[in-house]
Amino acid sequence: MSCSRRSLLKGLALLASAASREASAGGELVFGHIGAHSGVQANTGIDLRNGISLYFDFVNANGGVKGQRLVLEAIDDEYKPEKTVEAARKLEANQKVIALLATLGTENNDALIKSGLLAQTGLINFGPRAAAGVLEASKETYRVRASYAAEMRKIIAHAMTVGATRLALVSQGDGLGREGEKALLAVLADHPEQLVARASYERTTSDVSKAVATIRNSQAQAVIFVGISKACAAFVSQYRAQGGGAVIYAISVVDPAAVAKEAGGAKVHGLVVAQTMPSPRKVSMPLMRELIQAVAATGHQVNLDYTTVEGYVVAKAAVEILRKSSRLDREGFRKTLASESREMDLGGLVLNFSGGKRDGGDYVELSVIGPDGKVRN
């Protein structure tokens, strides 16, 4: 490395260190995150948490927000709805917590909303990773990702282009599965006969043997999977091993990299997964160039996958809202978010909470697992 390059890097590091000290000296801005950091959904929960932390540390290294340091209080709920509510009560009791970010799980968010905690306290649940249907009842919940209906439209449009008219559904036996099925049926409202088979598996398990048998016997040309990554890996690998030849699609709850790692890339080659975030490899997008810069600047060891991008995006959007607020607290965040009047461009990814909208995102793309196990889009 040349002397001039070493000097430049040293100078950048000193500037980042000085900015970080300045942020630390100015106080703390605390956000909460609840997700599965252990158990069957640990890969997803950890990546969401890491994406948020990456953005927070990047901002802190550049002086924080108005001189104050961003802090994330993350709690592992083990993907158990009752623990989600318990964690939310704990975070809400800390008056420094401005909002919840990227709460993970449809059943978990449903339990949180039904507990009444959000409505009673006004605590904002921002950017949860859950089915849109269960979020609509909560005025305190704002969605960053596209709906399952948008994902299903993208999936069915692609299935039609490959000539698949006999469709089958495999869904998790809980609110996630029900919301996915509801979204699929809405898309197929004019052609319900195209759905020739349905099967389900038990939540928090990967016992998909009965589902595999049902779908194999249906002679479906395309299968839509609505569930978690571990169960998806089991379904695809078992279905292929038994000679199943249908095109398999999954909604964005599934992490294709985690599926390939769990089952082995060759066994899940060809799995098509809907994504509600841009690919981290889309370096033509300013947002992705910034994310790569953040990794380099902070030294974070993260999986550069769609889920990490989602955590990063939720954090970035929340901070953008906070920057506009005259009060850097829970009430200021809530009022600023409710009064948004224009679109928010995060660097090529646009969110829109204007006019009281609570469904800010509509981005959907498709990714596929290649024969080498790598994810392509």
- Same domain membership, residue 33 and residue 8: yes
Q: Is the pLDDT of residue 33 over 90?
A: yes
Segment 179-188 shows an average pLDDT of 96
Same domain, 14 and 105: yes
SS3 call for 197 = strand
pLDDT over 90 percentage in the chain:
89
Give me the mean pLDDT over the 308-335 stretch. 97
* Position 141 pLDDT exceeds 50: yes
- What pLDDT is recorded for position 6? 44
From 242, 275, 308, give the residue that closes a domain.
Answer: 275
**Residue 153 belongs to a domain:** yes
> How many structural domains compose the chain?
2
Region of poorest pLDDT, from 20-24, 122-126, 158-162, 280-284? 20-24
Q: Do 347 and 285 touch, CB atoms closer than 8 A? A: yes
The predicted pLDDT at position 219 comes to 95
Mean pLDDT estimate for the chain: 92
Q: Is residue 367 part of a domain?
A: no
Q: Is residue 59 part of a domain?
A: yes
User: How is 224-247 classified by DSSP, letter by letter?
Assistant: EEES-HHHHHHHHHHHHHTT--SE
* DSSP β-ladder status, 272-275 and 222-226: unpaired
Strand partners, 170: 199, 225
Mean of pLDDT values over 362-370: 96
According to the model, what pLDDT value does residue 7 have? 45
Indicate if 32 and 45 belong to the same structural domain: yes
141 with 19, same domain? yes
How far, in Å, are 177, 270, 271 from residue 218 at the CA level? 20, 20, 19
Residue 38: pLDDT band with limits 50, 70, 90 = very high
Q: pLDDT-based confidence at 26, cuts 50/70/90? A: low
The answer on 204 and 116 residing in a single domain is: no
Q: Which of 3-7, 21-25, 156-160 has the highest mean pLDDT?
A: 156-160
Residue 230 lies in a domain: yes
**Spatial separation of the C-alpha atoms in residues 188 and 194, rounded to whole Å:** 8
Of 297, 317, 252, 287, the C-alpha closest to 104 is 252
Inform me whether the pLDDT recorded for 145 exceeds 80.
yes
pLDDT at residue 377, as a whole number: 82
Instruction: Give the percent of the chain with pLDDT over 70.
Output: 93
Residues 224 and 153 in one domain: yes
Domain that holds residue 125: 3-145+282-356
Q: Which tokens go with 152?
A: 């299903």
Residues 24 and 89 in one domain: yes
The pLDDT tens digits for 66-82 are: 999 999 999 999 999 99
pLDDT > 60? residue 23: no
Mean pLDDT for the stretch of residues 253-271:
93
Q: Is the same domain home to 264 and 295?
A: no
Q: Which of 223, 224, 234, 226 is nearest to 259 (CA)?
A: 234
Q: What is the CATH number of the domain that holds 240?
A: 3.40.50.2300
Task: Please tell me the distance from the alpha carbon of residue 136 to that of residue 286, in angstroms, as a whole number.
Answer: 31
- The tokens for 93 are 């009791």
Same domain, 312 and 334: yes
Residues 141 and 287 in one domain: yes
Q: Is residue 45 part of a domain?
A: yes
Evaluate if residue 9 carries a pLDDT over 50: no
Q: pLDDT value at position 132?
A: 87
d(CA 350, CA 47): 22
Residues 156, 260: one domain? yes
pLDDT of residue 270: 96
Cα Rg of the chain (Å, integer)? 21
The more confidently predicted of residues 164 and 13 is 164
**Which pTM does this prediction carry?**
0.89
